[in-house]
Amino acid sequence: MKNNTEMSGGSGSFLSIEACELLDQVKTLKEDGWRFCQACADYVEDGIELIYTFENAAKLLSLKTVVEEEQAVDSITFVFWTAFDAELDMARDCGVRFKHVAEEHLRDFYDVADISYSAESIRSDMEALTAHRDYRQMMYVAERMAGTSSFGHSLGYCMAVEKASGIEVPVRGQYLRIILMELSRIQSHLYWLSSVADRIGFESLAMGFLSVREPILTMFDHISGNRIMLSLCKVGGMKKDISQQQLEDIRNTLENLRERIQALTLLIKEDASIRRRLEGIGILDGKTAEAFCRGPAARGSAVMTDARMDENWSLYKTLGFVPIIEEAGDGLARCRVAVEEIYQSFTLVENAIEKIPEGDICTEIKTLSAGEAVIRLEQPDGQAVYYAKTADSDYIKKFRVSMPTDTNLLAYVRVMKASDPVDRPLTSLTMDPCRNNVEW
Amino acid sequence: MSFFRINGSLIKNLLGRKPADYEPAEGINGIRGRIAIDTGSCALCGECETHCIVGALRVDSEEETWEINRMQCILCGECTEICPQECLHMSDDPMEPEFAVIADVYHIGEEVETNLQEEEKPEEESLDAAEAIDEKSEDEEAVEEDKAADDSDEEVEEQEDASKETEEAEEGDEESEETEEEQESEEIEEAEEDPAQESEETEEPGDEEADSEDEPESEEEKIEEESDGEEETEESEEPVEPEEEEDEVEEAEADEESLQEAEESQEEPEDPEGEPESENAEESSDEEAGADDESDVEETEEEEASEDEEDISEDEEEADEDSETEAEDDGSDECSEETEESEEAEEPEEDAESEESGEPEVETESGEEDASEEEEAEAESLQEESDDDTENADAEAPSGEEIKKSPKNNPKNSKRRRKNRRKR
């Protein structure tokens, strides 16, 4: 399998270990500063294969181990409590049995009197479709796992399969993907801010955000024929090109939008009434954020984490990307992160349009090659991790998505527990959960 | 002060500046439209069917048809890329929201328009309200071949104007043709929820009321009558002749998904999901059930579905049901029996199949029937053979007869709808 031999090579290498070594390796990784990213299980000939992925600022590293069915595996929750959710998934998907689960932390879930949480989601059923849909069709399935972040899912799926199969995407295709990803981030953040404003009661601000979001969706409509489910990615590149004229239109639209968005976001940042509602609610301290969440929620608590700093996303460095950090850790800080990210995405898109080269947008592929890969991607609501295992056929063996809300779940629950019941709706929104991913 | 930052825009808005632009949205280039096929190039290879992500396509190399379920199609365009003959392309014609299933069937190669005139005669004698509908639906099915706009127009006219003779005459041939198509579309619709079903159901209550015919002994007959009645009521305020009804029934039952959608769906915002499920369960038990509105509705749907699946003689799973339905048919009145029997004879397998395939198909068909009557629905999605067009043209000549009557306006319909819903 590709990527298997690299230990310290590119981001996303795989290392096979024995089941008994698992806990020791994980502890070593933790000492080295790695953080837990995702874990999944899959049936193989010898039994069940467990894949644990860890991350640091720029790299991903995966440990693989094969256990027999009914064999009890050491739970790593004592080392990384965030693995609890992933282990629940593994137990449910493949019947893996874990021993020594750090049960005292279960109080996080079961002690909350007025919040109930269910780890079920539609995600696993959609992932199971890999048996019935070939790799081209699975893109559409992956795309439909979420709403406003649908482009990110299609992109993550394609990148994971490409990496697993050793397919290179032409440079123009990469640029197009980044342009669309950042536009998708802009519209998702605008929607998020609109829902926060609406929850505060500031309806005209909410409508203002939505009306500012409309030109972006219209641009999507012109580019791909759809407003949200773009269906523009495919394994190997992009399905449709964006013409120079359309790129110019995008640039002009963003220019015109900048001023309108500034008027609205100024309110979020500085208006006294909004500040009174958002300031000081849902405080997420840096330590919890570092351990338990990613994405804007973590960056609002001064944690330097962004999937776009990963090595796979080298193009972002060329475009001048820097993560946006806020210190306060409350709801207002997270909204400020969203606001600044909107402006940053504007800049990234404009830079990409300037620098985009001519060329192919897609590589031709006959069929996939066997391999596996893990990709992390900065979705608007957090960090999503995509794991794909391919075979020498049109059907991929396994595809697993770790949604941003899954990643942030424990931080979310802690924040909600600690907050005043009156503030909970707004707190929940500032953490930007996505109901497609986890049922509440 | 930050508090006053918003005052600027507040005052601006107060003083008459409209913050929102109330302009109609401009047209979008490259909008995703329906998948269109160049029937001349199609080789019936089935690649598109294999690669369709949602299973909206169906290629029947025996019958030489290519069918697309419009509502299942997600307009992704994969089939247009995959087709080796490059006969598929995405048109600029957008899909409107519909409440029933639309399936368009295209005949590849030579059109099969045979002996429509000959078969009409035997059918005419046993015209019944139910038959009318069946005929109509059959006619519509049979007509599906070309995308000619005139075809769709003609069909629209057909559906609306239930010309007895032409419709009746077409029954024979059309039914067989339609059944095939229906089967195809039904099969495709199996997994789909059918808002059309609901529309059917709603129509059926209306049919019952509108029909002046005797209560059919068999449930199927009753259902057919109901559907016939509804169609007729909807189509025209004039007294509905039995022949017309029959035509309507046959036509409607057979294939008018698109037609039904318009009427039915608009009239009854029923939950499509609930209906297919409930209908599935009910269909299996309804064939032998008493004359419940629901059961009637369901049976009608089944019948309709069965009509579509008539040609699917290969399915033997529901052979028992077929015999049951046939038995029921035998017991009905002469007029209704004849009509229904002829319909049922075609349907026996259909019923079985419809149950198997799922009620969504049946429902859709019934929904189709209803929708067929509406011009708008018909015009949009109908693609009919030229033969039927001629016939339809004749049938539609007395266009004044058919005035679409919204089931919503019929209080009894709504009551039954609610009643049916609750039962589910």
DSSP per-residue codes, B99-142? SS--EEEEE-SS-----HHHHHHHHHHT--HHHHHHHHHHHHHH
Task: Report chain B residues whose CB lies below 8 A from the CB of A241.
Answer: none
Flag if B75 and A273 touch (Cβ within 8 Å).
no
| Residue B181 and residue B307 in contact, taking contact as beta carbons nearer than 8 Å | no
pLDDT digit string, tens, across residues A23-49: 888 899 888 888 888 888 888 888 888
| C-alpha–C-alpha distance, residues B304 and B145, integer Å | 21
**Which among B3, B20, B25 has the least Cβ separation from residue A271?**
B3
| C-alpha–C-alpha distance, residues A428 and A369, integer Å | 42
Nearest CA in chain A to B81: A239
pLDDT band, very low/low/confident/very high, at B364 (cuts 50, 70, 90): very low
Segment B257-270 shows an average pLDDT of 44
Segment A114-138 shows an average pLDDT of 73
| C-alpha–C-alpha distance, residues B94 and B193, integer Å | 21
Residue A410 pLDDT: 80
Q: Show which residues on chain A lie within 8 Å of chain B, measured between beta carbons.
A: 133-134, 136-137, 140-141, 208, 211, 218, 221-226, 231, 239, 263, 266-267, 270-273, 275
pLDDT band, very low/low/confident/very high, at B7 (cuts 50, 70, 90): low
pLDDT of B387 > 70? The answer is: no
**Which among B2, B30, B76 has the least Cβ separation from residue A271?**
B2
pLDDT digit string, tens, across residues B116-142: 444 444 444 444 444 445 544 444 444
Measure Cα distances from B66 to A320, B56, B146 in Å: 52, 11, 11
Greater model confidence, A317 or B246: A317
Flag if A137 and B78 touch (Cβ within 8 Å).
yes
Cα of B278 to nearest chain A Cα, Å: 24
| C-alpha–C-alpha distance, residues A81 and A105, integer Å | 8
Helix (H) or strand (E) holding B66: strand B65-69
Residues in chain A: 440
| Residue A142 and residue A153 in contact, taking contact as beta carbons nearer than 8 Å | yes
Task: Report chain B residues whose CB lies below 8 A from the CB of A276.
Answer: none
For tokens 């780890």, what's the residue? A119
How much is the mean pLDDT over chain A? 85
Phi first, then psi, for residue A401 (nearest 5°) are -115, 130
3 state SS of A16: strand
Task: Report chain A residues whose CB lies below 8 A from the CB of B191.
Answer: none
Cα of A142 to nearest chain B Cα, Å: 12
pLDDT band, very low/low/confident/very high, at B18 (cuts 50, 70, 90): low
Q: Where are the alpha helices (DSSP H) in B256-308?
A: 257-260, 266-267, 274-286, 293-308
Cα of A229 to nearest chain B Cα, Å: 10
| Residue A301 and residue A308 in contact, taking contact as beta carbons nearer than 8 Å | no
Which residues does A47 contact at the CB level (< 8 Å), separation at least 6?
Answer: A66, A67, A68, A69, A71
A–B CB contacts, 8 A cutoff, strictly below: 49
How many Cβ atoms from other residues are within 10 Å of residue A280's Cβ? Answer: 16
Cα of B374 to nearest chain A Cα, Å: 29
Residue B21 pLDDT: 63
- Helices B319-330 and B293-308: crossing angle in degrees, nearest 10, is 110
Residues in chain B: 424
Pair of tokens at residue B70: 């419009």
pLDDT band, very low/low/confident/very high, at A74 (cuts 50, 70, 90): confident
Q: Positive or negative, the Cα torsion across B230, B236, B238, B242?
A: negative
| C-alpha–C-alpha distance, residues A379 and A383, integer Å | 6
Segment B281-302 shows an average pLDDT of 41
- DSSP string across A22-85: HHHHHHHHHHTT-EEEEEEEEE-SSSEEEEEEEE-SS-EEEEEEEE-TT-EEE--TTT-TTHHH
Q: Tell me which residues of chain B, numbers 66 to 95, contact chain A at a CB-CB cutoff of 8 Å.
A: 74-78
Q: State the pairing for strand pair B88-90/A382-390.
A: unpaired
Pair of tokens at residue B95: 């899909």
**Which among B6, B53, B74 has the least Cβ separation from residue A271?**
B6
Cα of A122 to nearest chain B Cα, Å: 17
Flag if B9 and A136 touch (Cβ within 8 Å).
no
What's the gap between Cα B13 and its chain centre? 50
How much is the mean pLDDT over chain B? 53
3 state SS of B384: coil
The ipTM value here is 0.77
pLDDT of B355 > 70? The answer is: no
**Which among A141, A225, A272 has the least Cβ separation from residue B31?**
A225
Flag if A273 and B5 touch (Cβ within 8 Å).
no
pLDDT of B49 > 50? The answer is: yes
Nearest CA in chain B to A205: B6
Phi first, then psi, for residue A41 (nearest 5°) are -135, 150
How many Cβ atoms from other residues are within 10 Å of residue A397's Cβ? Answer: 18
Task: Report chain A residues whose CB lies below 8 A from the CB of B53.
Answer: 133, 137, 140-141
CA atoms within 13 A on the CB side of A313: 26
Flag if A140 and B6 touch (Cβ within 8 Å).
no
Burial (CB < 10 A; 0-12, 13-18, 19+), residue A24, is exposed
pLDDT digit string, tens, across residues B193-209: 444 444 444 444 444 44
Flag if B5 and A231 touch (Cβ within 8 Å).
no
pLDDT digit string, tens, across residues A226-248: 889 999 999 999 998 999 999 99
How many Cβ atoms from other residues are within 10 Å of residue A40's Cβ? Answer: 25
Nearest to A234 by CA among B77, B298, B336: B77
Task: Report chain B residues whose CB lies below 8 A from the CB of A221.
Answer: 28, 31
Residue B267 pLDDT: 43
Output the pTM of the full model.
0.63
Burial (CB < 10 A; 0-12, 13-18, 19+), residue B117, is middle
pLDDT of B179 > 50? The answer is: no
Question: Which of B2, B35, B52, B72 has the most A C-beta neighbours within 10 Å, making it the best mutation to test the interface with A?
Answer: B2
